[in-house]
């Protein structure tokens, strides 16, 4: 990230949005939009956004596998038995 190019006040973004978006696509770097001197938003290309979604999907799959390895899941037969026992108790 280049601070001088990739951090933009919201007023400048409003005025020069088309030019700034073109520059972001050309550089391949996200842009931070500030409001009152503080970060308010991050603008990404659609491709970068899709990549983030894919990363979250992979993280969720890895976590599910790790939960299974830690035995936080139960088999279908155990689940059926659990619910049968609860149903009989009523």
pLDDT, tens only, 30-81: 999 999 999 999 998 888 888 877 777 677 767 766 655 566 666 777 777 7
Q: Do 39 and 52 share a domain, yes or no?
A: no
Number of domains composing the chain: 2
Q: Do 78 and 51 share a domain, yes or no?
A: yes
CA distances from 39 to 15, 79, 89 (A): 18, 47, 56
Confidence (pLDDT) at 67: 55
CA distances from 43 to 4, 22, 27, 80 (A): 16, 12, 13, 48
User: What is the distance between the alpha carbons of residues 43 and 29, in angstroms, rounded to a whole number?
Assistant: 9
Q: Do 53 and 39 share a domain, yes or no?
A: no
Residue 76's domain comprises: 47-89
Confidence (pLDDT) at 31: 93
Residue 22 reports pLDDT greater than 90: yes
């Amino acid at each position: 990230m280049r601070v001088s190019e990739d951090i933009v006040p919201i007023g400048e973004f409003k005025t020069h949005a088309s030019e700034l978006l073109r520059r972001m696509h050309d550089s391949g770097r996200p842009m931070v939009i500030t409001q009152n001197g503080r970060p308010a938003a991050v603008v990404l290309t659609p491709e970068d956004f899709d990549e983030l979604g894919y990363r979250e999907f992979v993280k969720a799959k890895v976590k599910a596998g790790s939960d299974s390895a830690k035995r936080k899941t139960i088999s279908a037969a155990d689940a059926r038995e659990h619910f049968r026992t609860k149903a009989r108790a009523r």
